[in-house]
Amino acid sequence: MDFFGFGGYQREPEGWGSWQQLLLVTSFVVAMVFFAVFFGMRYRHGEEAKKLFVLKVTAIVLDTIELTRIVILSFRSGNPMQFMYHLPLFLCSFQFITVPIAAFGKGRIREVAADFVFLFGILGSIAGTYGAGQNYSAYPVWSFDNVFSTITHTMSGFAGLFVVISGLLTFKAKNIKWVVITLFAFAVVAYIVNISIDYNYMFLMRGDGTPYDNFYNLVNGNRILYPLTVMFLFVLYMGAVYGVAYAIPSFREQAFAKEVVMEAN
């Protein structure tokens, strides 16, 4: 039962950057890339329904695992309100909402969700595995907390890679504002919850052992400048990804061609 941490873990954390952590997360990341490329290439020129089926299965499994994790953590703590500290309000956990929307949604809503899954699924998977200093400093590598977290983060990364490789990604210019609005809507909710329960969703309050600590220290922990800096980094990242995508002629032509066809219809 020590794997689940009931009564506290008896083993000392191996620590962030340990060979144990690198072995665990690299194994899952390699599997993530392999299956995303395999299924993405297999269905790239197939029917959209088949592509969406893969995404639907991913969404169902991803959310089932995450809900199981929340239930176990809440039960382990003995506090039924513990779930408030496990809401999908981290950048990497938004995928528990956006992957199902991308899989089961329709029209522009699905397009925006798919863009969001690509933009933050891959980024979140790397940040939540290799960059999860706060987790690997607090819990043993082979533990419920870290193993389940690694699984959900790499599944989110799989969804992001699959969306672009399979051709489900459109990256339409007219959808960019809706992606940004979605991001800021999540941030507003996360900030309100942070203040309400004294937590740190989206790392909007402090760095907590992540690379965000650098920016937190840069502004001396200013409660206004720091969250604004975090949001600026998100937007800067999005701008860079869109810029690279639109710099590829074939991708740009395909994206805008789809937009013109949509308008014509």
The contacts of residue 111 (CB under 8 Å, 6+ apart) are 170, 172, 175
Q: Give the pLDDT score at 263.
A: 44
Q: What is the DSSP string of the chain?
A: -GGGTTT--SSPP--TT-HHHHHHHHHHHHHHHHHHHHHHHHHTTS-HHHHHHHHHHHHHHHHHHHHHHHHHHHHHHT-GGGGGGGSS-STTTTHHHHHHHHHH--HHHHHHHHHHHHHHHHHHHHHTTTT-HHHHHHS-SSSHHHHHHHHHHHHHHHHHHHHHHHT-----GGGHHHHHHHHHHHHHHHHHHHHHHT--GGG-S--TTSTHHHHHHHTTT-TTHHHHHHHHHHHHHHHHHHHHHHHSHHHHHHHHHHHHHHHH-
Q: Give the pLDDT score at 258.
A: 52
Average pLDDT, 10 consecutive residues per value, the chain (265 residues)? 82 91 96 97 93 97 93 83 88 92 95 95 91 86 93 96 93 91 95 95 88 92 94 95 86 62 41
Q: Give the pLDDT score at 132.
A: 83
Q: Give the pLDDT score at 48.
A: 93
| Single pTM value for the model | 0.88
Phi, psi of 46 (to 5 degrees): -95, -170
Please write down the HEC assignment for all residues of 96-141. Answer: HHHHHHHHHCCHHHHHHHHHHHHHHHHHHHHHCCCCCHHHHHHCCC
Residue written as tokens 């956006």?
98
C-alpha span between 221 and 207 (Å, rounded): 9
The contacts of residue 248 (CB under 8 Å, 6+ apart) are none
Q: How far apart are the first and last CA of the chain?
A: 59
Token representation of residue 26: 């690299």
Q: Give the pLDDT score at 173.
A: 86
Token representation of residue 235: 């937007």
